[in-house]
Structure 1
Amino acid sequence: MFAVIFKAEVGEQDQEYLDMAEKLRQLAFDKYNCQDFVAVTEGAQEIAISYWQSEQDIQAWHKDSTHLIAQKLGREKWYRSYSVQVVEIKREYGG
């Protein structure tokens, strides 16, 4: 199992952003085998964590044409800065 951790300083987030975020979320689940997706915004900080079965699914998602458009818009207006980490989950436990 893998996770993609997206951290950003929020810029202008308009209705277009909200619509695109929902579209991308559904696309990740429907086409790219995303297992779970959680996003939280506090003040100007956003963090989103998505969970995937394979790195190949993550790479395919990253290259999706709709996602590429969203990435461009994100750099141009939706985010002041961002970072992305792809990590492999070695173990998981809870109570």
Structure 2
Amino acid sequence: MYAVIFRATLKKLDQEYTQKAQRMRELALNEYGCIEFIANTEGDQELAISYWPDKESIRAWKNNPEHLSAQQKGKTLWYQDYQVEIVEVLHKYQG
């Protein structure tokens, strides 16, 4: 299993952002094999972590045309800066 960690400094959020973020989450979960998607915003910082079964699913999701369009808007309108990390989950513990 893999996790994609997305961290961003927000520039400007609007109604379109809210709708697009919801759509991207639904698309990832329903069409690209995303196992879980968690996002939180505090002040001007956003953190989203999504879990995936394999790197191929992540790559397919990254290259989805609708997601590519959202990425471009993020770069120009919504985010001051961002970073993405893809990590392999080695252990998972639950209580």
Q: TM-score, normalised by structure 2?
A: 0.98
Give secondary structure in 1 for the equivalent of 2:56: helix
Partner residue, 1:89: 89
The alpha-carbon deviation at position 30 of structure 1 amounts to 1.0
The alpha-carbon deviation at position 94 of structure 1 amounts to 2.8
Stretches of 4+ moved more than 3 A in 1?
Answer: none
**Number of residue equivalences:** 95
| 1:24 to 2:28 alignment | no
Give secondary structure in 1 for the equivalent of 2:12: coil
Q: TM-score, normalised by structure 1?
A: 0.98
The alpha-carbon deviation at position 72 of structure 1 amounts to 0.3
The CA deviation string for residues 17-52 of structure 1, in whole angstroms up to 9 with x for no partner, is 001001111000111000000001110000000000
Distance 1:29 1:94 in 2: 22
Gaps of at least 5 residues in structure 1 are none
Give secondary structure in 2 for the equivalent of 1:34: coil
Partner residue, 2:70: 70
The alpha-carbon deviation at position 73 of structure 1 amounts to 0.2
Q: Calculate the aligned-residue CA RMSD, in Å.
A: 0.6
Aligned-pair identity (%): 46
